[in-house]
Structure 1
Amino acid sequence: MQLYPAIDLLDRSVVRLREGDYEQVREYTDEVLFVAQSFQRQGADWLHLVDLNAARGAAAVNRDLIAAICRLPGLKVQTGGGIRSLATIEALLAAGVSRCVIGTAAVRDPDMTAEALRRWPEQIAIAVDSRDGRIRVQGWTEDSGINLPDFALRMKHAGAKTLIFTDISRDGLLKGPAVEETRKLKELTGLEVILSAGISSVEDIAAARDAGLDGAILGRALYEGKVDLADALRLARQLPQPAATRPVKNELPADEPAADESAVTAWNTLAGQSQQIWQALKKDAAGLVCAITVDAATGAVLMQAYQDQAALTRTLETGLLHYHSRSRNCLWLKGETSGHYQHVQAIEVDCDADCLLYRVKADGPACHTGATSCFFRRLEEFAQTAEQT
C-alpha cells in the first residue's frame, strides 16, 4: 500500500482544517520546504499536497512553493485544490507534479474532466469528497446534490483510474478512518482507491493495508506525533495480514505520562537548590540558557531549545523536561499537546556553565514534523532549499 504524507497549504503555511472548515484552522509552520524534506528524509516517495487557497477559488499564491517541492529529488507530488482547467493541469505537470487531483471540476465540468482523463490517464486522480453520502465541492463548502456511488461510477465511465475518497466528517479529527466505506468503494468501481481522513495510529494504517486499499493519506497524526512516518511507511509496504493475525490495537495512553519514580526522586533533591543553580549558570541576553536534549540510550541528539528559571525548576520538580517557548513567551512542557514527554535520566553542565545537556527517555518524536530528531537535514540540502526560496 502506498502511503502519502500530506501537506495542506493555506497562505503559504502548513495547516490542518477541522472537517474542511476554513474557520477552524490550525497552523503548524511556514517552513513548507522543511516539512517536505523531512518527509523525504524519513523515506516517503510520494507527497499529497493540497492548495487550500486555490480550492476556494483564490489566486494561486502557493504555486511557486509547489514547484519548489517538486524539485526535491526522488519525491513525487500528488496535488489538488483549484484544478478546474486543462491549462492549470498542464502548468502543474510542467512544474513537476506527478498527479493532479480534480475535485469540484469533476462535478461541474465533466467534459473538461473527461478530456483530462483522456490526455493524462495515469496522471489524474478524482477526489471523491463526501459528507453523509453526498459529494461536496468548492473546498467542501457546497453540497453538489450527487450521491457518492453514482458519482464514483460516473467517473469510472469517464476513464478515471484512481479515486481519492475522503469522509469529510472524519477529516482532521483523529477519530479513525472510513476503511470499510473505502473498501466498498473499491469493490463497487474496481478502481485504485486511496483512503483519506481520520488516520490516528499505525493500527489504522495496518487496517487500511489489510483491507486491500491502494493507498492512504496521512496528515494530522504526523504533525501531532501520533504516528512516526518511518514506522508507518514500513508497515504500509508490508503484505496484508489475515484478520486472525492482526495485532490488537493498544489503548490510547493516559493524558499524563507514567512517572519514572527513581528519576523524579533524584531531581526532587535538587529542586530546592534550583535558585542557586540558576544563579550560577550563565544566561544569554534574553536571560535564557541553551538546553540540548539527547536520547539517553543512543546518545542521538533530539532537539535544542531554551530554559528560564521556571523551566529548570519544573523540570527538577517533575522529572519531565520543561522549556521556555520564545515564540509564545511562556513555560512549555514538552509533550503537553502531543503526548511525547521527555523523561529526564541525567543532566550535565558544559564547561562554560551556559548550556545544559539533558539525557532523556522520549515517549515519541522530538520534532514537530514527526521526525525522531529535529536534526535531519544535511547542510548541503539546506543550501539547496535556500537557493530555491
Structure 2
Amino acid sequence: MIILPAIDIKDGKCVRLWKGDFQTAEQVAESYMDTAQGFAEAGAQWIHMVDLDGAKSAQPVNADIFLDVAKHTPLKVELGGGIRSLDTVESYLSEGISRVILGSIALKNPRIVKEAVAEYGDRIAVGIDAKNGKVAAEGWLDASDVDYIALAREMIRAGVGTFIFTDISKDGTLSGVNAEQLSALADATRGQCNIIASGGVHTIEDIRICREMGLYGTICGKSLYKGTLDLREAIAEAQPENQTN
C-alpha cells in the first residue's frame, strides 16, 4: 500500500479544512516546497495535492504551485481540484503531474471521464467524496442523491481504475477512517479498481486498517501536521511484510 502525504492549497497557502468547510481553513505549514521536500526525505514517493480554490471556482487557480512541486521534488504528484475539462487534464499531465483526480465532472459529466481514461489510462483517478453515503461535488458544496458505490460502479464501466474515497464527515477530524464504507466499496468493486482512502486518518492504527483491507493507498493530512502520525512509520507499516492476515 502506498502512503500519500497531503498538501491542500488555498490562497497560495498550505491549509487543512475541517469536514470540507472552507471557513475552517487553518494554515499548517509556511512553505509548500519545504513541506513536500520533507515528505520526500521521509520516504514518500507520492504526494496528494488539492487546489481548494480551484475546486470552488471550477477552474485551476494554484497550478504553478503544483507544477513547481512536480518539477523540483522527486515526488509523483496526484492532483485534484478544479479539473473540469480535457484541456486542463492534458495541460497538467503534459507538464509533469503524474495523476489527476476528476471529481465533480464524474458526477455531472461522466462522458469527459470516459474520454480522459481512453486517452490517459491509469493517470486518471476519480474522487468520490461522500457524506452519509451520498456523493457531493463542487468543492463539497453541492450535495446529491447519488450513492457512492453506484457512482464507483458507473465509473468502472467508463474504464476508471483508481478511486480516492473521502468520507466528508471524517475529513480533517482525526477521528479515524470510515472502515465500514471503505470495506463496502472494496467489496463492491473487488478486483476491478484501486482504492485510496482519504479522510479521518489519525494514528498508525488507521494505516493498519487500510492495509489489512487490501487498499491501494491511504492519504494522510492533518495527522502529519498535528504529529499524531509519523510519516516514516506509516510508510513502513504500509509495506506487505507487515500484513497480518
**TM-score, length-normalised on structure 2?**
0.96
**1:28 Cα deviation from its structure 2 partner:** 1.5
- CA–CA separation in structure 1 for the residues paired with 2:244 and 2:29: 40
Alpha-carbon distance change, 226 to 144 in structure 1, aligned in 2, over 3 angstroms: same
- CA–CA separation in structure 2 for the residues paired with 1:38 and 1:241: 27
Is this contact kept in 1: 2:102–2:127, CA < 8 A? yes
**1:178 Cα deviation from its structure 2 partner:** 1.1
Alignment correspondent of 2:32 = 32
**1:111 Cα deviation from its structure 2 partner:** 1.1
Amino acid across the alignment from 1:218: C
Is structure 2 residue 45 aligned with structure 1 residue 45? yes
Matching of residues 240-389 of structure 1 within 5 Å: 241-242=243-244
Question: Which secondary structure state, in structure 1, belongs to the residue aligned with residue 57 of structure 2?
Answer: coil
**1:54 Cα deviation from its structure 2 partner:** 0.3
Is structure 2 residue 182 aligned with structure 1 residue 182? yes
Question: Which secondary structure state, in structure 1, belongs to the residue aligned with residue 44 of structure 2?
Answer: coil
Alignment correspondent of 1:209 = 211
- CA–CA separation in structure 2 for the residues paired with 1:143 and 1:36: 32
- Per-residue CA distance 1:13-38 (angstroms, 9 max, x = gap): 10000000001111123411111011
- Per-residue CA distance 1:315-365 (angstroms, 9 max, x = gap): xxxxxxxxxxxxxxxxxxxxxxxxxxxxxxxxxxxxxxxxxxxxxxxxxxx
Alignment correspondent of 1:231 = 233
Alignment correspondent of 2:171 = 171
Structure 1 runs (4+) greater than 6 angstroms displaced: none
Is this contact kept in 2: 1:106–1:113, CA < 8 A? yes
Alignment correspondent of 2:139 = 139
- Per-residue CA distance 1:39-95 (angstroms, 9 max, x = gap): 011110000000000000166331111111001343100000011000000111122
Is this contact kept in 2: 1:179–1:195, CA < 8 A? no
**1:9 Cα deviation from its structure 2 partner:** 0.5
Amino acid across the alignment from 2:156: K
Alignment correspondent of 1:320 = none
Is this contact kept in 1: 2:77–2:98, CA < 8 A? yes
Is this contact kept in 2: 1:124–1:162, CA < 8 A? yes
Alignment correspondent of 1:218 = 220
Alignment correspondent of 2:86 = 86
Question: Which secondary structure state, in structure 2, belongs to the residue aligned with residue 143 of structure 1?
Answer: strand
Is this contact kept in 1: 2:19–2:168, CA < 8 A? yes
Is this contact kept in 2: 1:183–1:212, CA < 8 A? no
Alignment correspondent of 1:21 = 21
Question: Which secondary structure state, in structure 2, belongs to the residue aligned with residue 120 of structure 1?
Answer: helix
Amino acid across the alignment from 1:223: Y
- CA–CA separation in structure 1 for the residues paired with 2:60 and 2:73: 24
Counting aligned pairs with the same residue, the percent is: 38
Is this contact kept in 1: 2:36–2:73, CA < 8 A? no
- Aligned Cα RMSD in Å? 1.3
Alpha-carbon distance change, 210 to 172 in structure 1, aligned in 2, over 3 angstroms: same
- CA–CA separation in structure 2 for the residues paired with 1:209 and 1:65: 31
Is this contact kept in 1: 2:15–2:29, CA < 8 A? yes
**1:183 Cα deviation from its structure 2 partner:** 2.2
Is structure 2 residue 175 aligned with structure 1 residue 162? no
Alignment correspondent of 2:118 = 118
- CA–CA separation in structure 2 for the residues paired with 1:144 and 1:89: 24
Amino acid across the alignment from 1:232: A
Question: Which secondary structure state, in structure 1, belongs to the residue aligned with residue 6 of structure 2?
Answer: strand
Q: How many residues align?
A: 243
- CA–CA separation in structure 2 for the residues paired with 1:42 and 1:186: 29
Gaps of 5+ in 1: 244-389
Amino acid across the alignment from 1:199: V
- Higher relative CO (CA 8 A, sep ≥ 6), structure 1 or 2? 2
Is this contact kept in 2: 1:210–1:240, CA < 8 A? no
- CA–CA separation in structure 2 for the residues paired with 1:73 and 1:197: 25
User: Which structure features the higher share of helix residues?
Assistant: 2
Is this contact kept in 1: 2:44–2:75, CA < 8 A? yes
